[in-house]
Amino acid sequence: MPTPHISAPDGAFADTVLMPGDPKRAAHLAETFLDGAEMVTEVRGMTGFTGTYGGTPVSVMPSGMGMPSAAIYSTELIRFYGVRRLIRVGTCGVYQPDLPLRRVVAGTEAVTDSNIPAALGAPHPLLPSAELLATAEQVAADTGVDLATGTIFSSDIFYEPDDATHEARAAAGVLVVEMEAAALYAISALEGAEALTLVTTTDHLVTGEHLTADERQTSVDEMLELALRVATT
């Protein structure tokens, strides 16, 4: 049944949905990596697709930027379309001096300044599915992906007013910052689904380095293939 933000028919989504923030990345993922991908929704230009990877059905649905948007799409996918597993595939900024760009990070916990998890009554701490995390670690080891694991900060603010915030979070052991994982973990826990966040390091907040558009694409593709293998293992 269509929802306010997704216009797909019942059964249009596979059990596992990869969620990039960017709808263009969703289309890229579907066109480049899925077989027989078909667009299943395009409300507000948020294009979702279903196809197969290695013969197993997989969908991709953008989350948009930030936790309010990610919360809407993840809730509707799980509650109204019966999706069982959500794997966020995104990019992130780096807080730790010794964590380089182009690494894939799996979020073993999400911490946040957002009110969304607490307002929904989500359990604390905000954790990924242990099974999806273990699968990601195994697939990364088997395919030679140098996977970093650790705590992710999900921020409501991209343009932080003060660098001291980065330093405080780095000192607290947080590896990277992005803007959606905490909502995904909270809603998956509340709705009885499984979630994992995989993010590629693209912006270094200590050294000031940023990947170019081409470098972003190549690095993100490595993560997308890892996520697809996790989704279909």
Of residues 8, 202, 216, 223, which one binds ligand HPA by CB under 6 A? 202
The label of the residue with tokens 């593709």 reads 221
> What binding mask, one character per residue, do residues 168-187 give for ligand HPA by CB under 6 A, x or -?
---------xxx--------
* Rounded distance between C-alpha atoms, residue 162 and residue 164, angstroms: 5
Task: Give yes or no for a contact between 58 and 231, defined as CB atoms under 8 angstroms apart.
Answer: yes
Nearer to ligand HPA, 111 or 177 (CB): 177
For the chain, give the number of residues: 233
Active-site amino acid positions: 203
51 scored as a contact of ligand HPA (CB under 6 A): no
Nearer to ligand HPA, 178 or 194 (CB): 178
The nearest distance, CB 155 to ligand HPA, in angstroms, is 6
The nearest distance, CB 89 to ligand HPA, in angstroms, is 12
What's the alpha-carbon Rg for the chain, to the nearest Å? 16
CA-based end-to-end distance of the chain: 29
**In this chain, which stretch among 23-31, 91-99, 104-112, 190-198 interacts with ligand HPA, using CB under 6 A?**
91-99
Which residue, among 73, 68, 103, 102, has the nearest Cα to 88 in the 3D structure? 73
The interface with ligand HPA within residues 105-164 (CB under 6 A) comprises 155, 158
* Rounded distance between C-alpha atoms, residue 39 and residue 140, angstroms: 29
Residues that bind ligand HPA (CB under 6 A): 91-93, 155, 158, 177-179, 202-203, 205
